[in-house]
Amino acid sequence: MKYGTKILTAFFFLSIPCAIAASPKNPDQCFVCHEGMGDKPSSLYKSDVHKLNGISCSGCHGGDASKEDQDDAMKKSIGFIGVPHGDEISTLCGSCHADSVKMRQYNSKLPTHQMNLLAASVHGKNAIKGGQHIVQCTTCHNSHGIVSVKNPKSPVHPLRVTQTCTQCHANAAYMRLYNPSLPVDQLDKYRTSVHGLRNAQGDAKAAVCSSCHSGHDIQPAGSAKSHVNAANIPETCAKCHASADYMKEYKIPTDQYEKFTKSVHGVALLQKHDLSAPACNDCHGNHGAVPPGVESISKVCGSCHALNADLFSASPHKKAFDENKFPECETCHGNHGIMTATVTMLGVDSTAVCSKCHTEQKSVKGYRVAQEMRLLIDSLTNDQKRALGIVEEAEQKGMEIGEAKFKLRDAHQARLESRTMVHSFNKEKFDEVIAKGLNVTSFVALEAQRAVEEYFFRRWGLGIATLIITILAVSLYAYIRRLENK
Amino acid sequence: MEKSTDVPVQPGKRDFLKWLIGSATAAWVVSVAYPIFSFLKPPKQGEVEVSSVKAGKLSEMAKDSGMIVKFGTKPVILIRKADGDLKAFSGTCTHLDCTVQYRKDFGSIWCACHNGKYDLNGSNISGPPPKPLDEYKVIIKEDEIFISKGT
Amino acid sequence: MRSLSKKLYDWINDRVHLDDLVEFMGKKYVPINSHSVWYYFGGISLFLFIIQVITGILLLLYYKGSEDLAFESIHFIMAKVQFGWLIRSIHSWAANLFILAAFIHMFSVYFTKAYRKPREITWLTGMVMLLLGFGFGFSGYLLPWNELAFFATKVGTDIAGVVPVIGKPILVFLRGGEDVTGATLSRFFGLHVAVFPGIFTVLLATHLLLVQRQGMSEPLELANNPAHVRKTMPFFPNFLLRDLLFWLIVLNILAILAVFFPWELGKKADAFASAPAGIKPEWYFLFMFQTLKYIPAHVLFIDGEVLGVLLFGIGGLLWILVPFWDKKSSRGERNLIVNYFGIGVVIYMLLLTILGWLT
């Protein structure tokens, strides 16, 4: 738009002497004349990829490039449109770029669906003035002087694209017009990230805006189609991070995606479509992506697993871990491939994680506590199973035991709470929760046992009643016989 | 029909049969009366458990408080908001089936197991719960609070 | 002991002349013949009715007849009240056995033509009591307010609604509105525990009084035999003791059924739930239900259901009025048409019931 005004001004001032400089031999009379006037569009257009492919100014602006006379060349009746405005611009670009037949004539390998993608994107759908959408092709690609994206001079080249995007996205006053809630500090954050630092050093391979958000197909993060939607992020990051070839020179592992997809978080997010489960960015940050530091891990995990993190921070382990530089949650639970925690992690046997540090020789107190905690949680699990078994037996015998079954939920709750309470690494607190659960299970087992006994009581009662009735019936029959045999 | 004539019966046999009928009848009466009298005895919990509907009296429920109500075999949490509005949700945390509670200090529904939180519309707002709580309908008839399924 | 009861007897006898009653009972004889066994089914029906009254009153102590509480209160009876499961199961089972015993009683009376003069009133009261028994069953079925009962009542009242002209008002009257709701439950509850028992008691008293007054009927072909061939036994104590013997056996069967096949409660009725698959009425309505299924939607210009309901109405009326159109039996002559009609009805009912049961 800024360019548009300038071109328009230049056009009015310089249109008259143009005709003199024109030479009949050159097929692109527009360029010949405008270059002679020394205006900015024509000087930029000299190196434009379109110019190099033999496309005249009239390819976009209309008119007849072969006419020397200015009036003949720029007659409205032969299709001269002058400076295109608003959506006309993208429509003009699309008249070739969305047409695979035309593009093939220029041996182009460019995709031809950018126009569709742009039209469906947040930039192509939102309009501020009637008929004019936020972004036209020229907004990012420039109008004259367009070069290949691989060319470092291109505004969408990896090393320059951040500036291009932030022309709008870092401008709070401008962004407020479209999306007041969208932050405008992405570039600042990006500069602190590993990606941003490498980019600043001139590494064109490091991720930039368009690597994650895509170029044309930009959707709001909340949209399921967005490349940065929680459900799509792991795949988006994996485009680079799972490619051993691409990441070779950075010497970092490339198995995070594979591990993540199998982890409890990955299964929740990708298979159960639970969008509250963390994707890559929830731990690493998005624009400011870095691996979390050793001490901040419990804060990162704690943003969801708050109770566990609080308990851990108050526990004796906090100090020990900090001193030894153990990454907090990760030491026991792992990172990308994290699995559902089970009781097998607790205790001192081969599958337990406690015994990594606590052995019978070293840190003996912790060894004992781990052993006892495991025994307690196992006994609660067993009691719960046993109680459930009796409840089921009673139910199967047709006894009504809804009340006890309802109560059994409390045991389930106590067991889950005890698993959380492990993170306090405090035996007394743990005992309290377990005792609550054991009380419930013994109550339920008793109630259920009573119901089972009631079942047998009914059978016995019936047996006795039947015996009585049979004796009565037989003796009555004998009495009748005797009466009638008299 | 021939008239029955008095034929003498051995006294021992006669006594035994009559005794047998008498005592069997007595035993039978006991075996019928026992269940009936047991039935008449009011059970420990003297009233029908009206869990599925009646939750208590409105006047007895403080503002800004919550309670767990047994709804069939499932818990339902009934909340009286600070402004006096009543809300009822499934009391089962959508994360791992713990029973949730109302926390005055947060002004939200809270699950003790993993610190999951729901707002007073039942939406999961923080912590691990993956889904919102199902809402139940609350109806007030005179002073009684009734909870029923469906919103 | 003996003298005490004698004294008590004398005290009462002094005032109400019990001697007359004992005298009457002692002189009452029950005929003995190859059909004697059928005589007991009236007594069994009576016994089952007594059980229904007793267990029904017991259930009333805890049952609450409202939409919100009906299901819960039955659940409470089954789960919390001691022997509640037994009382409720016996009530449900005895209801079914009552209909069965009454059916047997009715058919035995029909085929032995015991309805003939002078026992027309006994037959009529008995038939009305059987219809009331259906009413008891239909209304009682809804009271637990469970899913099956809810939909069975819906279908049942719908059928009543197809009767031309009076059907719709009957349907609204039964349901207490356009739909099966809590209002229906209240009505059925009232009918089940107050209206029906009241009418039934009056009919039962008449029925029993007539039986005592007129004695047992003898089958037609034996009634004409000379007196010395006809065998009898005293009603008291011989027949009464046999009656008691049967009652004991029935009670034991009931107890066994209640313990081994406790009556299900099912799921609470939900007006917005879709009807469960394969809802069926109680077995004694099954032959009618099944017939309605077989009648095409339209027969000539009449609606199929209307036709079915009308046919059953006419058939039932014909059956009830048999003492009045079967003049031959009253005159003491054989009337084979009655037998063929009866056999046809029995076969038809059995066949349709079995078909209904299997589908």
pLDDT tops 80 at residue A115:
yes
Amino acid letter for position A4: G
pLDDT band at B64 (very low <50, low <70, confident <90, very high): confident
Q: How far apart are CA A405 and CA A387, in angstroms?
A: 9
Burial class for C346, CB neighbours closer than 10 Å (0-12, 13-18, 19+) = middle
Segment A377-386 shows an average pLDDT of 94
> Looking at the predicted structure, is the pLDDT value of residue A34 above 70?
yes
Q: What is the pLDDT of residue A13?
A: 45
User: By C-alpha distance, which of C299, C329, C80 is closest to C218?
Assistant: C329
Q: Is the dihedral of CA C113, C114, C119, C123 positive or negative?
A: negative
The answer to whether position A479 is within a domain reads yes
C-alpha span between A400 and C82 (Å, rounded):
12
Contact state of B50 with C68 under an 8 Å Cβ cutoff: yes
Cα dihedral C229, C233, C239, C242 sign: negative
Q: If you measure CA to CA, which chain A residue comes closest to B99?
A: A413
pLDDT at B7: 47
| Mean pLDDT for all residues in chain B | 77
pLDDT of residue A437: 92
pLDDT tens-digit series, residues A262-289: 999 999 899 988 888 889 988 888 888 8
Q: Using CB atoms within 10 A of its CB, is residue B3 exposed (0-12), middle (13-18) or buried (19+)? A: exposed
pLDDT for A129 equals: 65
**Which pLDDT score is estimated for C223?**
74
pLDDT of residue B150: 55
The answer to whether the Cβ–Cβ distance between A484 and C238 falls below 8 Å is yes
Find the CB nearest B27 among A308, A461, A468: A468
With bands split at pLDDT 50, 70 and 90, how would you rate the model's confidence at A84? confident
**Residue among A403, B78, B48, B135 nearest C68 (CA):** B48
* Distance from C-alpha of A47 to C-alpha of A39, rounded to nearest angstrom: 14
Nearest-CB residue to B96 (from A274, A416, A479) = A416
* Three-class SS state of C232: strand
Q: Provide the residue type at C93 as one letter.
A: W
**pLDDT for res C262:** 87
DSSP H or E run through B69: strand B65-71
Question: How confident is the model at residue A26, as a pLDDT?
Answer: 60
Which residues, 6 or more positions from A159, have their beta carbon under 8 angstroms from its beta carbon? A152, A199, A202, A204
CA distance A410 to A416: 10
Cβ-contact A195, A238 below 8 angstroms: no
Point out the residue among B21, B28, B113 whose CB comes nearest to the CB of A413.
B113
Contacts of B17 in chain A (CB under 8 A): 475, 478-479, 482
**Res B14: pLDDT:** 57
Measured between beta carbons, the chain C residues lying within 8 angstroms of B30 are: none
pLDDT at A19: 43
The conformation of residue B137, written as its DSSP 8-state character, comes to E
Q: Which residue has the higher pLDDT, A395 or C128?
A: C128
Q: Confirm if A426 and A313 have CB atoms less than 8 A apart.
A: no
Q: How far apart are CA C149 and CA C142, in angstroms?
A: 5
Report the C-alpha gap between A428 and A358 in whole angstroms: 19
CA–CA separation, B136 and B147 (whole Å): 7
Q: How far apart are CA A14 and CA B146, in angstroms?
A: 84
C30, C233 Cβ separation under 8 angstroms: yes
| Residue B81 pLDDT | 82
Contact at CB, A479 and B17, closer than 8 angstroms: yes
> Which of A112-126, A228-242, B58-72 bottoms out in mean pLDDT, i.e. has the lowest?
B58-72
What pLDDT does C105 receive?
95
pLDDT in the model for residue B12? 53
Q: At the top level of CATH, which class does the domain B54-148 belong to?
A: mainly beta
Which of the four pLDDT bands, split at 50, 70 and 90, describes residue A294? low
Domain definitions of chain C by residue range:
27-285
Give the angle subtended at the CA of A332 by the CAs of A420 and A295, to the nearest 5°. 90
Which of C75, C246, C249, C252 is the best residue to mutate to test the A interface, defined by the most A CB atoms within 10 Å of its own CB? C252
Angle at C56 between CA C55 and CA C59, to 5 degrees: 85
Helix axes C120-142, C182-190, angle to 10 degrees: 150
Using an 8 Å Cβ cutoff, are B58 and B144 in contact?
yes
Residue A139 lies in a domain: yes
Q: How far is A383 from chain C (nearest CA, A)?
A: 25
Nearest-neighbour CA in chain A from B151: distance (Å): 24
Which of A308, A409, A447 would you mutate first to test chain B, the one with the most B CBs within 10 A?
Answer: A409
C-beta of residue B17 within 8 angstroms of C-beta of residue B108: no
Separation in Å, CA of A485 to nearest CA in chain C: 12
Which residues from B are below 8 Å from A277, CB to CB?
A: 130
Structure tokens at C71: 């299901």
Inter-residue contact C212 to C11 (CB < 8 Å)? no
The CATH number given to C27-285 is 1.20.810.10
pLDDT higher than 70, residue A306: yes
The pLDDT value given to residue B72: 66
Sign of the CA dihedral with A277 first, then A281, A284, and A288 last:
negative
Residue B45 confidence class, pLDDT cut points 50, 70, 90:
low
Higher pLDDT: A479 or B62? It is A479
Angle subtended at Cα C191 by Cα C188 and Cα C193, rounded to the nearest 5 degrees: 105
Residue A178: closest CA among A131, A251, A107, A123: A123
What average pLDDT does range C191-207 have in this prediction?
96
Most confident range (mean pLDDT) of A116-130, A131-145, C106-120 is C106-120
Question: Residue C279 corresponds to which tokens in the numbers above?
Answer: 């809802």
- Tell me which chain B residue has its CA closest to the CA of residue A308: B114
| Residue B65: per-residue pLDDT | 83
Of C241, C252, C262, the CB nearest to A469: C252
pLDDT tens digit sequence for A458-481: 999 999 999 999 999 999 999 888
Query: Across the interface, do C233 and A466 touch by the CB < 8 Å criterion?
Result: no
Which of C238, C248, C261, C264 to probe the A interface (max A CBs under 10 A)?
Answer: C248
Nearest chain C residue to B39, by CA? C82
d(CA C179, CA A486): 65
d(CA B130, CA A274): 6
Chains with 3+ CB–CB pairs under 8 A to A are: B, C
Instruction: Provide the 3-class DSSP secondary structure of residue C321.
Output: coil
Alpha carbon distance B59, B88 (integer Å): 17
Size of interface A-B (CB pairs under 8 A): 83
What confidence tier does C359 reach under pLDDT thresholds 50, 70, 90?
Answer: confident
**Which element (helix H / strand E) includes B75?**
strand B74-80
Residue B113 has pLDDT above 80, yes or no: no
Pick from A268, A417, A461: CB nearest B113: A417
CA C289 to each of CA A17, B68, C136, C319, C349: distance values in angstroms, whole numbers, following the listed order: 103, 46, 18, 19, 11
pLDDT at C48 over 90: yes
CB of C68 within 8 Å of a chain B CB? The answer is: yes
Residues A190-206 have pLDDT tens digits of 999 999 999 999 998 99
Residue B1 scores a pLDDT above 80: no
A480:C245 CB<8 A: yes
Residue A48: pLDDT over 50: yes
Spatial distance between the Cα atoms of C253 and C276, rounded to a whole number of angstroms? 31
Q: Which residue of B has its CA nearest to A464?
A: B31
Q: How confident is the model at residue C22 (pLDDT cuts 50, 70, 90)?
A: confident
Contacting residues of A for B21, CB less than 8 Å apart: 472, 475-476, 479
B70 touches chain A (CB under 8 A): yes
Torsion of CA A279, A282, A288, A293, to 10 degrees: -110
- Chain A CB contacts of B4 under 8 Å are 483, 486
- State residue A87's pLDDT score: 83
Confidence of residue A17 (pLDDT cuts 50, 70, 90): very low
How far apart (Å, rounded) are the C-alpha atoms in residues C55 and C91? 6
Strand-strand pairing, B116-118 and A132-133: unpaired
Contact criterion met (CB < 8 Å) for A472 and B75: no
The 10 Å CB-count burial string (b at 16+, else e) for A8-24 is eebbeeeeeebbeebee
- Which range has the top average pLDDT, A294-298, A309-313, C18-22? A309-313
Which of the residue ranges A23-37, B86-100, C41-55, C158-172 would you say has the lowest mean pLDDT? A23-37
- Alpha-carbon distance of C61 to C64, in angstroms, equals 9
Region B44-68 average pLDDT = 69
In this predicted structure, the answer to whether residue A219 has a pLDDT above a threshold of 80 is yes
Q: Residues B129-140: what's their mean pLDDT?
A: 82
The answer on pLDDT for C3 being more than 90 is: no
Query: Quick check: helix, strand or coil at residue A425?
Result: coil
Which ranges constitute the DSSP H helices of chain C? 2-16, 18-27, 39-60, 70-79, 84-111, 120-142, 147-161, 167-175, 182-190, 196-214, 220-223, 240-260, 286-294, 304-320, 322-325, 327-330, 336-358
- The answer to whether the Cβ–Cβ distance between B73 and A406 falls below 8 Å is yes
Confidence of residue C98 (pLDDT cuts 50, 70, 90): very high
Please tell me the distance from the alpha carbon of residue A88 to that of residue A4, in angstroms, as a whole number. Answer: 13
Phi-psi region of C335 (alpha: psi -120 to 50; beta: other; left: phi over 0): beta
The residue among C315, C322, C340 whose CA lies nearest residue C123 is C322
Paired tokens of A105: 């004539």
Q: What is the C-alpha to C-alpha distance for residues C34 and C214, in angstroms, rounded to an integer?
A: 20
Residues of chain B found within 8 Å of residue A274, distances taken between Cβ atoms = 130-131
- Could you count the other beta carbons within 10 Å of the beta carbon of residue C75? 23
- Whole-number percent of chain A with pLDDT over 70: 93
Q: How far is it, in rounded angstroms, from Cα A228 to Cα A237?
A: 9
Of residues A400, A466, A476, nearest to C245 (C-beta) = A476
* Cis peptide preceding A180, ω within 30 of 0: no
Identify all chain B residues contacting A420, using CB atoms and an 8 Å cutoff.
Answer: 113-114
pLDDT at B77: 87
Residues 6+ apart with CB under 8 A from B104: B64, B65
Q: In this predicted structure, what is the pLDDT of residue C86?
A: 93
Section C274-301 average pLDDT: 83
Measured between alpha carbons, how far is A380 from A445 in angstroms, rounded to an integer?
A: 13
Write the CATH number for A460: 1.20.140
Q: What is the DSSP letter of A78?
A: G
Residue C30 has a pLDDT of 83
> The domain containing residue A439 runs over which residues?
365-485
Q: Give the residue with greater pLDDT, B141 vs C203.
A: C203
Kindly state whether B146 is in contact with chain C, defined as any CB-CB distance less than 8 angstroms.
yes
Chain A residues touching residue B97 (CB < 8 angstroms)? 409, 412-413
Confidence (pLDDT) at A471 = 94
